[in-house]
Amino acid sequence: MTQYRVLGPFSVAVDGEPRTPSAAKVRQVLALLLLRANQVVRQDSIIEELWGDRPPRSAVTTTQTYIYQIRRLLHPARRAAHDDRTVRTVPPGYELSVGPGQLDSWEFESCVDRARALLDDGRVAEAARLLSRARSMWTGPVLADVTQGPVLRRYAARLEEKRNLAQELSLAADMRLGRHRELVAELKSLVMANPYHEWLHAQLMIALQRSGRRAEALAAFQQARRLLNEQLGIEPSGDLQRIHQDILKEDALTP
């Protein structure tokens, strides 16, 4: 079975044997086909990815050569690479067929979608386990070692947004499970990496307060307020201010 990894450094293995392409543009084309697996990728999209708005006259022929090389890469023993069913020619482009268990990004998105449904159903512990598994699949940014043109960047950005969603759902689930002390260090790190993300500031304040660190929770609000005011010229959102007031009153908080 062929396995593809895109959630971090790019890798391809055929029956356990590494088959990751080394040529930069072949990697780009294969990566693009994977991020649009089981869908037709137009030839002009591939050309835009590789050369932007200044393609060479040989762009179509060169693209066909890259597709041929990908077919040979995925099926080295197959003589008729042009007849490969994994990468099919489907006018006006090409389609790469991927099945269950072959592509890590598919497994990741499936885990996140299932976990979201479990959270909505109140099955928080199950959702937390599934989200922890989903987050562990990432070993770096999407296609960390692949040159990305305009088309790949768009699709990679969508996956990164799904990663952010998984992170937020995971934190929300752990908060509902009462894991406030365990989350403080992670939340502090996330706030430093995402200083304008008010939801993260709010979760840090709640986690600190529920860990018996009320003074630090209040200090976290003042830090967030100062940052937003000095850097963006805005006041904290109503939700963040409400949480601040609740901490001042030592009211019971709900995440």
Q: Convert the pLDDT of each residue in 50-81 to its tens digit.
A: 999 999 999 999 999 999 999 999 987 654 44
Residue 160 has pLDDT above 50, yes or no: yes
**Which of 96, 115, 134 is the last residue in one of the domains?**
96
Residue 87 has pLDDT above 60, yes or no: yes
pLDDT band of 143, cuts 50, 70, 90: very high
- Residue 121 placed within a domain: no
- 200-232 pLDDT per residue, tens: 999 999 999 999 999 999 999 999 999 999 999
- Residue 152 placed within a domain: no
- Residue 207 placed within a domain: yes
- Residue 48 placed within a domain: yes
Q: Are 9 and 145 in contact (CB under 8 A)?
A: yes
**Which of 96, 119, 138 is the last residue in one of the domains?**
96
What is the number of domains present in the chain? Answer: 2
**Any idea what the CATH number is for the domain that residue 64 is in?**
1.10.10.10
Share of the chain above pLDDT 70, in %: 95
**Which of 64, 96, 128 is the last residue in one of the domains?**
96
- 101-131 pLDDT per residue, tens: 999 999 999 999 999 999 999 999 999 999 9
- Residue 15 placed within a domain: yes
Q: What is the mean pLDDT of the chain?
A: 94
Domain interval for residue 57: 2-96
Dist. CA 166–CA 182, nearest whole Å? 18
Question: Per-residue b/e over 197-218, b at no fewer than 16 CB within 10 Å?
Answer: ebebbbbbbbbbbbeebeebbb
**Any idea what the CATH number is for the domain that residue 208 is in?**
1.25.40.10
**Antiparallel, parallel or unpaired: β 87-90 and 93-96:** antiparallel
Give me the mean pLDDT over the 234-255 stretch.
83
Q: Which residues contact 221 (CB under 8 A, 6 or more apart)?
A: 201, 205, 236, 240, 243, 244, 247
- Residue 194 placed within a domain: yes
- Residue 167 placed within a domain: no
- Long-range contacts of the stretch 228-237 (C-beta < 8 A, 24+): 228/196, 228/198, 231/195, 231/196, 232/196, 236/198, 236/201, 237/198
- Residue 108 placed within a domain: no
